[in-house]
A and B are shown apart, each in its own frame.
Chain A
């Protein structure tokens, strides 16, 4: 429980005692329990200042060594390259023997250790005049971060690891290489994040780690695709975002707030953006087998990865959809079973696959764009309906936002006359105003947020 929530509870307990809801003994027990929770809380102030200190010391060492002391011999510089790493080893061993388990010690140590590795490699590069090979430099630094991540379980090395992997894969792919190694390398850190999530009082740290991993993997997905089959990215990306969204529902449907559930937030946001792009006609131009890419930099075997993802991600989304659906209580509206809105969002890869088949076989870009427009508008309506049913203003706004985005997007891209567009806009606006009026009245009657 966060300190803000504990403070709220303490204030409430005083009010409960005053109103006679709880007796004095219960109040004492509650105070003892939450005083303990407050004492065990992560010392964020110390962690932030400690990490800033470690960062500044690390950067200072890098700058000092970059000055290149020409008077020092090769041997002396080689020894200096190991000094920061030796300092980290010494600190870790001392900390372990003396039982320093606090995050205020391990977080700055993880940050400094990560910088010490980079400093060492850079100094060796400087001493032996290594060529400008940023790709190898980044990969070596990133790989050597793995034990630091596991030994300290700190946020900075984990975030640095994913940032390093993403940088390396971008450079590798730009240089004509194949970045598929990204995925097994990223998977190495998954057990660590899973372990940290299960630790008590590690909610914030594990959430940041999950954000770093999810953002890096989402970006790397687009980079590592070989893109031999034009348009396959649509199925891959909708599949990936749907899997993230549904995975977030399965893992932490009870977690409130968009920040605390990175999978659900990133999956939902990503799906909205990708589906929005697909309501236009341009993504559907020249897609399918008839436009197979035969560029000189294409790696034939790497295309297998694209096809595997094109199948595996929608299958994963389907599996998670069933799993998540079995966990939610059934709801009815006048006897008609209602699907939760996220279940409809989760079906995105299958609808996209149908649209893709239409574009690839028929060759027309109009029908797939129209199908996706209706689908996204339907999702907006479903989200709006769910928000209204649950009286959740955030969900209502989200649904309205999706619907408005679809209408405005189609308005700018359609060839219809301005008269027709004007009439449609006025009708839509009228419907919205009327709906808003009705909802506000109902919410006032039922005591919800108006």
Chain B
């Protein structure tokens, strides 16, 4: 390759690198400024990432599996439609293969999908167990369990604050009063974490206060 092209390649490469990182930032800034606020109940614990440092792992109370009327392929892109639950927090209402116009949806992927089976009552005779189900004790219901992962599973914190945040949550949950809530902004299928709250206050403030004591 002609060496005259090297600076051109370097410039294009730098443009691509700045562009890719800029695109990541702009989309999330748009979500944070224009997105719909959703609040999910969560249980925070404190692990570590070699590259991104200390974070609080979020165990969203909303189950990550839903029953659907259709089968999805593993890895397929789906949309989780967000609604409001009876306790005032956000819940996943249903899964759809395409975003719905009026609904608040978060884009995610199918981790696994398996058919639901119903146990046949003991003593069911061969006439009822027709065709390919002759030798089995359960029959498919025509519905599918779809397991998915919500795209917010970690909240990064200062390396000193993160363990304190976990301890604060454990103390609070032992008293059975304060709840961990992750505040998420949802915009065009993208969910971006805005804050993590404990007992209605940002968890950073709670942890800082505990450290000062």
Contact = CB atoms under 8 A, between A and B. Distances in A.
A191 B204 CA distance: 51
Nearest to A67: B159
B20 interface: yes
A129 B156 CA distance: 6
Interface in A129-163: 129-133, 137, 140, 144, 146-148, 150-151, 153
Given A126-B55, A133-B151, 20 more contacts: A62-B51, A66-B159, A67-B53, A68-B54, A68-B157, A70-B161, A120-B21, A121-B21, A124-B25, A128-B24, A128-B25, A128-B192, A129-B155, A147-B14, A148-B13, A150-B6, A151-B6, A151-B13, A153-B6, A296-B114
Contacts of B142: none
B115 to A, nearest CB: 10
A126 B152 contact: no
Nearest to B158: A70
Describe B's contact surface by its main secondary structure.
Answer: mixed
B45 interface: no
Contacts of A129: 55, 152, 154-156, 192-193
Contacts of B112: 176
A118 interface: yes
B101 interface: no
Contact of A96 (B7, B18, B53, B159): B7
Contact of B12 (A81, A137, A147, A153): A147
B53 A68 contact: yes
Describe A's contact surface by its main secondary structure.
Answer: helix
B135 interface: no
A122 B151 contact: no
A92 B9 CA distance: 12
Interface string A43-83: 00000000000000000001001111110000000100110
A359 interface: no
Interface of B: 1, 6-7, 9-10, 12-14, 16-18, 20-21, 24-25, 28, 49-55, 74-75, 112, 114, 149, 151-159, 161, 192-193, 204
A430 interface: no
A72 B74 CA distance: 40
Minimum-distance CB pairs A-B, first 7: A147-B13, A66-B53, A151-B10, A176-B74, A70-B158, A129-B193, A122-B51
A417 B9 CA distance: 68
Contacts of B192: 128-129
